[in-house]
Amino acid sequence: MTSVALKPKTELTDLVARAIKGENIVLMKGRRIVASIVPATGAPVFVFHPLTSAQNARLDRRIARERSQNRVRSFESAEQAVEVLRAEWSRPRAPKRNTK
């Protein structure tokens, strides 16, 4: 079932509750459809901002540098990567030396 929301600002909590129950909600501004609230499927949702050309070039250089230094690691799953990285980040680190 699809519903159209006329006052989404004042009804957001109700609209989300209806989506949780399986309803598709369409948000309109005037006569234009501007957004929708749909039930979550349980599938992963990827939200990201595209990289600029400069950011992409920096990332490519960094990956190449890390590969040349044998610092690239592979993991069997995202959970394993998170577990390893979390353990590394939680270790106390030595204070940085002032090189000036």
Per-residue pLDDT at 61: 92
Helical H segments across the chain, by residue range? 8-20, 53-68, 78-90
**Which residue is associated with the tokens 């990289």?**
51
74/80 Cα distance (integer angstroms): 10
If pLDDT is split at 50, 70 and 90, which confidence band does 7 have?
low
The string of pLDDT tens digits covering residues 44-64 is: 777 777 888 998 899 889 888
* Identity of residue 35: A
Q: For the chain, give every domain's residue range.
A: 2-37, 53-89
8/25 Cα distance (integer angstroms): 10
95 has a pLDDT exceeding 60: yes
**What pTM was computed for the model?**
0.38
C-alpha dist (Å) from residue 29 to 24, 25, 54, 58? 17, 13, 36, 40
DSSP at 69: T
Per-residue pLDDT at 100: 61
The string of pLDDT tens digits covering residues 10-49 is: 678 888 888 888 888 888 877 888 888 888 887 777 777 7
Q: 79-83, long-range: CB within 8 Å, 24+ apart, which pairs? A: none
